[in-house]
């Protein structure tokens, strides 16, 4: 297999041009059954909005530590996570025994006080944590604008994913009418890693699909089927898109959830703005039609909210932020 990532231009598909949906679906099928990653181009998320969001990540992480700690992660895993307080401890692809060398800020779907899911008190569905407008003017609005644009792109991409699975184009529409996502603004300072320590240690994503606007600062690597690690190339304006554990479970392994990692940057700072897409929290993740047979029995179904709750409980502990020092 060539050591390269496929590039999928979705412009014609998003525009509804004849034949484009089938063409993109075939490319998506090939990418997600062989590598689990591809580079997405031809989208309509404005480049200026993407660059502004990278700048917002830099602005937020440039705040004094005392101010960032005032925004520390709440019980819903929203807010600031200090450096070296996290790794995917449950990773099945590496024995992650050292914390990651990054700090991050997490935002989920904005829910007002009267939102039924927020009022339910369920973990992961509560209020976001926001810096004061006077402290970071425009941060909240810019972050929400980017989230809305990528969520819209992701949901318009879903028909290609459905057709790639031989399903009706609108198959995922209801499940993603109110998607459950997590948006992360990450900062990787130049750092010297100990053995088996990374910017982000080897892991697979727990969610459905991840949309990562590419940074010109290298670091992201994916593990190819032959076991070698491949640097994800920088393609200006493109997204790296990968399928996660939820989609792998939903397709009974038909689509991959590929291990990846981030190496600490050398000599300069790196910022990342991944958008982790999932369906509505009450969606039942049960084996999709056509994804089981006598040799591949269906895995047990699970509600997406429960899937997330178990994963967060094992990997993200807000209490681990409590004693972070200035």
pLDDT computed for residue 91 by the predictor: 84
Q: How confident is the model at residue 231 (pLDDT cuts 50, 70, 90)?
A: very high
pLDDT of residue 20: 98
- Indicate whether 300 belongs to any domain: no
- Chain-centroid distance of CA 284 in Å reads 20
Tokens at 88, concatenated: 């995917």
User: Quick one: average pLDDT of 23-52?
Assistant: 97
In a domain, residue 127? The reply is yes
Tokens 């699975």 sit on residue: 165
Torsion sign, CA atoms 121, 249, 92, 107: negative
Tell me which residue of 57, 36, 40 sits closest to 184, measured CA to CA.
Answer: 57
Read off the pLDDT of each residue in 218-239 and give the average, rounded to a whole number: 95
- Helix axis angle, 139-164 relative to 47-61, nearest 10°? 130
Q: What share of the chain is helix, strand, coil (3-state, %, to 5)?
A: 30, 20, 50
Domain count, the chain: 1
CATH number reported for the structural domain that contains residue 169 in this entry: 2.60.120.330
Please tell me whether residue 203 adopts helix, strand or coil conformation: strand
Residue at 312 is within a domain: no
List CB contacts of 217: < 8 A, sequence separation 6 or more.
Answer: 265, 268, 269, 270, 271
Beta strand pairing call for 7-9 and 37-41: parallel
Mean predicted confidence (pLDDT) in 36-57: 98
Amino acid 314: pLDDT: 83
Sign of the torsion angle spanned by Cα atoms 215, 41, 168, 166 = negative
| 284-319: pLDDT as tens digits | 999 999 999 989 999 999 999 999 999 888 887 777
Q: What is the mean pLDDT of the chain?
A: 94
Query: What's the burial of 123, exposed, middle or buried (CB within 10 Å: 0-12/13-18/19+)?
Result: middle
Overall average pLDDT of the 221-231 stretch: 93
Tens-digit pLDDT profile for residues 101-130: 999 999 999 999 999 999 998 888 999 999
Q: Does 36 map to a domain?
A: yes
**At 244, is the pLDDT very low, low, confident or very high (cuts 50, 70, 90)?**
very high
In a domain? residue 301: no
- pLDDT category of residue 1 using cuts at 50, 70 and 90: very low
Tokens of 143: 């972050």
> Domain for residue 171, yes or no?
yes
pLDDT in tens, 257-291: 999 999 999 999 999 999 999 999 999 999 999 99
Which pLDDT value is given to residue 118?
92
Residue 147 within a domain = yes
- The C-alpha atoms of residue 213 and residue 241 are separated, in whole angstroms, by 9
Domain range enclosing 37: 7-287
Question: Do 137 and 216 contact (CB within 8 A), yes or no?
Answer: no
322 confidence band (pLDDT: 50, 70, 90): low
Asked if residue 293 is part of any domain, the answer here is no
Of the candidates 204, 223, 220, the one whose C-alpha atom is nearest the C-alpha of residue 212 is 220
Encoded tokens for 125: 């569905």
Q: Is the pLDDT of residue 13 over 90?
A: yes
What pLDDT is stored for residue 92 in this prediction? 81
> Is pLDDT above 70 for 131?
yes
Q: Say if residues 248 and 205 touch (Cβ distance below 8 Å).
A: no
Determine what percent of the chain is predicted with pLDDT higher than 90: 83
The tens digit of pLDDT for each residue in 146-187 reads 999 999 999 999 999 999 999 999 999 999 999 999 999 999
Inform me whether the pLDDT recorded for 325 exceeds 70.
Answer: no
Nearest CA among 205, 238, 237, 200 for reference residue 219? 200
Is residue 53 pLDDT above 80, yes or no? yes
Instruction: Determine which helix (DSSP H) or strand (DSSP E) holds 103, and give its type and residue range.
Output: strand 103-108
């Amino acid at each position: 297999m060539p050591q390269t990532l496929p590039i999928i231009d979705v412009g014609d598909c998003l525009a509804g041009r004849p034949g484009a949906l089938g063409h993109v679906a075939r490319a998506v099928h090939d990418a997600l059954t062989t590598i689990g990653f591809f580079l997405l181009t031809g989208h309509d998320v404005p480049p200026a909005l993407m660059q502004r969001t990278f700048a917002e990540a830099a602005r937020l992480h440039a705040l004094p530590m005392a101010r960032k700690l005032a925004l520390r992660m709440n019980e819903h895993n929203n807010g600031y996570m200090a450096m070296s307080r996290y790794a995917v401890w449950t990773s099945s692809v590496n024995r992650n025994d050292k914390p990651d060398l990054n700090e991050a800020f997490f935002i989920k779907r904005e829910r007002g006080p009267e939102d039924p899911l927020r009022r339910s008190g369920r973990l992961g569905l509560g209020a976001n944590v926001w810096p004061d407008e006077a402290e970071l003017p425009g941060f909240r609005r810019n972050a929400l604008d980017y989230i809305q644009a990528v969520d819209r792109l992701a949901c318009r991409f879903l028909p290609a994913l459905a057709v790639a699975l031989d399903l009706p184009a609108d198959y995922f529409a209801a499940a993603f009418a109110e998607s459950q996502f997590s948006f992360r603004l990450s900062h990787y300072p130049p750092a010297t890693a100990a053995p088996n320590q990374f910017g982000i240690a080897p892991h697979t994503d727990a969610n459905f699909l991840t949309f990562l606007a590419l940074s010109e600062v290298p670091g992201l690597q994916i593990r190819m089927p032959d076991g070698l690690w491949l640097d994800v190339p920088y393609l200006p304006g493109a997204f790296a898109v990968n399928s996660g554990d939820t989609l792998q479970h939903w397709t009974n392994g038909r689509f991959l959830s590929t291990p990846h990692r981030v190496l600490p940057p050398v000599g300069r700072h790196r910022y990342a703005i991944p958008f982790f897409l999932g369906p509505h929290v009450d969606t039942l993740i049960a084996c999709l039609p056509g994804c089981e047979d006598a040799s591949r029995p269906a895995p047990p179904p699970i509600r997406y909210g429960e899937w997330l709750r178990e994963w967060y409980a094992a990997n993200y502990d807000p209490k681990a932020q409590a004693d972070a020092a200035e």
